[in-house]
Structure 1
Amino acid sequence: MKTKTYWIFAILTISIITLAFGYTTFKSPKEKLAAVDCAETPNTTAESDFKPTIANKTPAPSKAPKGMVWIPGGEFSMGSNVEDESLCSIKGVTKDAAPIHRVYVDGYFMDKTEVTNEEYAKFVKATGYVTVAEQKPTKEEFPTAAEEDLITGSVIFTPTPAAVNLNNFLQWWSYVGGADWKHPEGPQSNIKGKEKYPVVHITYEDAAAYAKWAGKRLPTEAEWEFAARGGKTGNLYAWGNTLKPNGKFQANIYQGHFPIKDGDTGEDGFKGIAPTAQFEPNTYGLYDIGGNVWEWVNDWYSVDYYQTLAGDGKITKNPQGPKAYNDPSDPTEKKRIHRGGSFLCTDQYCTRYMVGTRGKGEIRSAANHLGFRCVKSI
């Protein structure tokens, strides 16, 4: 990779492939807009895969810390039985969320919302922390990159001027110099007036550093899903089994033609990222557990981890994830799990706001739709 183009491609590959977007069957933009059959409900395997959630009855041991809620823990069926990547019958890569398996987690406190710009700013002011996006890449990381190409920055969603084939995600992502949590859309942008928006352009280590400072930690994948399900059994979404109950969206996701400029109609009330807590919380009091921004969790990503857990048919107690990452599609990059989907998830392409589905991310990569929330052990 001797040119700037190829170096940027390397950055994009690290960050964007993390979302595990599926391959489509579209052959042309016109075909994409005219021939795709979308549905309100995805194809699923047998509902009997899910067994009843058994939440603990233990009350919170103390008053919840500010901005957090009590999650009682318990036993539940984890994973997804969705067969397709999207509501438009696109065959994708959801197999890493199967098979459904039984898990038990102890109780814990969890942030009501994703960590906001305001909260992250307090951390940075107190510690002087510098995020990965603000650090100049090194020759050790990118030995073939020219020195002038080693600039600070992050990846930003860049809409296309017209319809495109969805097989090539590099068409709508750009590495932008000077983009970081304080400049989410590039060096000319800022977060003034966006104190209550979720902080973005956060890598795994940025999230973990904040959590440690706050006396918290990142959730395990099992803790995240138990909380997201809100004590319910096998629902498609954190709010139920219907994408739009009573015709109303319950999360900040993408409506309209993806990824075209001005393609997001904003039917849910927002075009792009939204402030936190703009929709009803789930039954545990958690906001934006689906959509808005992806959230880091602590587990390493392994494509076959669920198969391993389900193999002996036993209940796994407090799983911490695999001991190492395993992604045959991109074996050289170290990845951890993302959960919840983002404002860019769309029924045309990626419906990973569905509560049991998974994302993945290279641990030192960030983008303008990636943030986190924390938990606190008792």
Structure 2
Amino acid sequence: MGRLVLFLFFCSATCFAQQQNDLIRIKGGRITIGTVEQPDAQPLFDVHVTHFRMQRYEVTNAQFSDFVIKTGYRTRAERNGGSYVFDPSLRNDSTTLIDAPWWRYTQGANWKHPEGIASDIAGKENHPVVHIAYEDACSYCEWLGMRLPTEVEWEYAAKKNGNEVLKNIWQGSFPEYNSAEDGFERTAPVGSFLAGKLGLFDMPGNVWEWCRDPYHQHAYTFAKKWKVDSSQPLVPNYFDEQSPHEETRVIRGGSFLCAENYCKGYEPAQRMRSSVKMTFSHIGFRCVKGK
């Protein structure tokens, strides 16, 4: 009986690991990018999306660990000696971001130590990997012969997948109170909630996901003027008035920190950005491949 249980355990673990690497084929089609529900939104534009395949799940700690073991890769956070960790009890001081005082730069924080050097990922092998910089995500995808999704591909997949009713987000008033009604205060193991119509998990919530595009605050205006290739960024360069001298890239999907009263980044058409030089405990990624 013991051997049978052990056999079933390894079969289950192996099957789940294989599923994590599954690519969902997403049939192309036409879609309107953006939403009229955003009062300050950029102009909407229609685009034809070419077929592509997307990872079913966000990349996990176990998957990223395999990449590191086989390549010796060191992330930007590891090279920098630390990363930003969420701490809702903070007030503005020298270690926090001025416009978001709940982020503390923590020495020793990285993908292996998500809350700082005293923490680890034991028991969190199937949680999404975090403290991942744009270059780290690109390196992992390239190792698999894939790439990051463009923001058009990401939004198309999210809208076709449907905005799942159950998702890992902040329940309550951010950042004062989180009831954690969904069972998770921080990241959740990938696949903890039901998949959407396409079979994709955690498109809304859990962790923000890097996209290939440079963040340009007028990207949609330009997109209306020329033919868009859905597999390529909307614009070649970034433009961000809030970070004029620091490259930012698009992130999509929201995270466990998005709330009704704060950012609603979990809605499919919401776009956000992050510096390519900074890493956080709520940003991860998934990869895509052409048809």
Aligned counterpart for 1:300 among listed residues 214, 219, 223 = 214
1:155 and 2:84 matched: yes
Check 1:203–1:271 CA distance in 2 against 1; reply closer, same or farther (3 A cut).
Answer: same
Match runs of 1:77-96 below 5 Å: 77-83=32-38, 94-95=40-41
Match runs of 1:304-323 below 5 Å: 304-311=218-225, 316-318=228-230, 319-323=232-236
Residue 80 of structure 1 and its aligned partner are, at CA, apart by 2.0
Residue 106 of structure 1 and its aligned partner are, at CA, apart by 1.1
1:76 and 2:5 matched: no
CA RMSD in angstroms comes to 2.0
Aligned counterpart for 1:119 among listed residues 58, 63, 70 = 63
Contact 1:292 1:341 in 2 (8 A): yes
Alignment partner, residue 375 of structure 1: 288
Alignment partner, residue 39 of structure 1: none
Q: Give the whole-Å Cα distance in 2 for the aligned partners of 1:115 and 1:348.
A: 28
Q: Secondary structure of the residue that 1:171 maps to in structure 2?
A: strand
Q: Give the whole-Å Cα distance in 2 for the aligned partners of 1:224 and 1:332.
A: 26
Aligned counterpart for 1:198 among listed residues 123, 128, 145 = 128
Contact 1:102 1:316 in 2 (8 A): no
**How many residue pairs are counted as aligned between the two chains?**
267
Match runs of 1:239-254 below 5 Å: 239=164, 249-254=165-170
Q: Give the whole-Å Cα distance in 1 for the aligned partners of 2:21 and 2:76.
A: 28
Question: What do the CA deviations read for 1:154-205 (whole angstroms, capped 9, x no partner)?
Answer: 001111279xxxx964321100000000000110000001010000000000
TM-score, normalised to structure 1, is 0.67
Match runs of 1:47-58 below 5 Å: none
Q: Please tell me the residue identity of whatever aligns with 1:338.
A: I
1:131 and 2:45 matched: no
Q: Which has the higher strand share?
A: 2
Alignment partner, residue 248 of structure 2: 335
Alignment partner, residue 6 of structure 2: none
Q: Where does the alignment leave 5 or more consecutive residues of structure 2 unmatched? A: 1-18, 92-96
Q: Please tell me the residue identity of whatever aligns with 2:64.
A: Y
Alignment partner, residue 256 of structure 1: 172
Q: Give the whole-Å Cα distance in 2 for the aligned partners of 1:216 and 1:187.
A: 31
Q: Give the whole-Å Cα distance in 2 for the aligned partners of 1:190 and 1:120.
A: 14
Q: Please tell me the residue identity of whatever aligns with 1:296.
A: W
Residue 303 of structure 1 and its aligned partner are, at CA, apart by 0.2
Contact 2:20 2:56 in 1 (8 A): no
Q: Where does the alignment leave 5 or more consecutive residues of structure 1 unmatched? A: 1-63, 85-93, 137-151, 232-236, 240-248
Q: Give the whole-Å Cα distance in 2 for the aligned partners of 1:329 and 1:352.
A: 18
Q: Secondary structure of the residue that 2:100 maps to in structure 1?
A: helix
Contact 2:256 2:282 in 1 (8 A): yes
1:177 and 2:107 matched: yes
Alignment partner, residue 4 of structure 1: none
Q: Give the whole-Å Cα distance in 1 for the aligned partners of 2:149 and 2:124.
A: 25
Match runs of 1:264-283 below 5 Å: 264-283=178-197
Identical counterparts, % of pairs: 41
Q: Give the whole-Å Cα distance in 1 for the aligned partners of 2:90 and 2:60.
A: 31
Q: Give the whole-Å Cα distance in 1 for the aligned partners of 2:285 and 2:158.
A: 14
Q: Please tell me the residue identity of whatever aligns with 2:53.
A: F
Alignment partner, residue 5 of structure 1: none
Aligned counterpart for 1:359 among listed residues 240, 258, 272 = 272
Contact 2:208 2:255 in 1 (8 A): yes
Q: Give the whole-Å Cα distance in 1 for the aligned partners of 2:77 and 2:280.
A: 9
Match runs of 1:211-226 below 5 Å: 211-226=141-156
Residue 65 of structure 1 and its aligned partner are, at CA, apart by 9.8
Alignment partner, residue 57 of structure 1: none
Q: Please tell me the residue identity of whatever aligns with 2:115.
A: E
Contact 2:58 2:286 in 1 (8 A): yes
Q: Give the whole-Å Cα distance in 2 for the aligned partners of 1:348 and 1:300.
A: 27
